[in-house]
Amino acid sequence: MNNLPKAALPTDEPLVLASGSPRRAQLMRAAGYDFTVDPAGDEAECGVCSRETAPELVARYAYRKALDVVTRYDSAIVLAADTVASCKGYILGKPKDEAHAESMLRMLSGTRHDVYTGVCLWSAKSQRCIVDVSRTQLEMQTLTDQMLADYLETMLWEGKAGSFGYQDGNDWISIVGGGSESNVVGLPMERLAELLENFDALAETVNNGSVDPGWVID
Ligand SMILES: Cc1cn([C@H]2C[C@H](O)[C@@H](COP(=O)(O)OP(=O)(O)OP(=O)(O)O)O2)c(=O)[nH]c1=O
């Protein structure tokens, strides 16, 4: 991915990427941001709400990851994200094992589906934050048993929402209608630049650990 946009930070606070995802750090480095990495604890990604849609879920998880990390700093702009695939009403996160990866890929095979990434930007000094969600539509060719077996053997599905890596160079997956590639890989860099540029206008004050309860369900 070339020419990733970079925006100036909205405050003089250092940028902290609250993520253990190598893809997110790679995208941020490729765009030229200065940042440190401080991942959220695993418990930030938990809690099931059966009424929740994919965009609501990624918004809630991004928010919880940012909340977990922002409490460690007096001065930082914390950036957290969460990515899932969504197909036929199912929300597909990271696979537990190869059998789980196979069942996700069989569901996605031959479909148009969506990838959602929720982003949370949180200023520790001002206790103001933004939660935002981006969607990219993808199309996966019908996978033959051989294609599936070959991909599973690469282990490239590990740690990836929906059990595929758009960046792995497979010709059986493509973006529909010019959506954001970086959003699929875990961080919508174009949207992130807009959020940083418009932080003052978009950020809301956080009260007692919650922001916009209509959007972030907990
Ligand atoms: C759909 C897709 C997802 N992914 C990755 C991006 C994310 O790392 C991962 C989804 O898992 P997440 O739970 O969003 O993130 P993570 O556990 O990797 O890291 P952290 O919670 O610490 O931020 O799937 C790809 O690399 N390529 C793809 O094509």
User: Is the model's pTM score more than 0.90?
Assistant: yes
Question: Could you confirm whether 34 is annotated as catalytic?
Answer: no
* Identity at 157, one-letter amino acid code: W
Atom of ligand 1 nearest to the CA of 39: 22
Smallest CA separation from ligand 1 atom 8, residue: 21
- The DSSP H or E segment spanning 138 is strand 128-140
For residue 5, is it within any domain?
no
Domain with 168 in it: what CATH number?
Answer: 3.90.950.10
% of the chain with per-residue pLDDT over 90: 86
Which atom of ligand 1 is the closest one to the Cα of 83? 14
- Work out the pLDDT band at 216, boundaries 50, 70, 90: very low
What pLDDT, on a 0 to 100 scale, did the predictor assign at position 218?
35
pLDDT band at 21 (very low <50, low <70, confident <90, very high): very high
Within-domain flag for 213: no
**Predicted-assembly ipTM surpassing the 0.95 threshold:** yes
Q: What is the DSSP string of 163-209?
A: G--GGG--TTEEESTT--HHHHHT--HHHHHHHHHTHHHH-EE-BTT
DSSP-based three-state secondary structure for 217: coil
Residue 157 belongs to what domain range? Answer: 15-205
Question: Cα of 24 to ligand 1 centre, how many Å?
Answer: 8
Nearest protein CA to atom 16 of ligand 1, as residue: 21
Question: What pLDDT is stored for residue 43 in this prediction?
Answer: 82
Residue 6: inside a domain, yes or no? no
Tell me whether residue 8 is in a domain: no
Number of domains in the chain: 1
The string of pLDDT tens digits covering residues 104-158 is 999 999 999 999 999 999 999 999 999 999 999 999 999 999 999 999 999 999 9
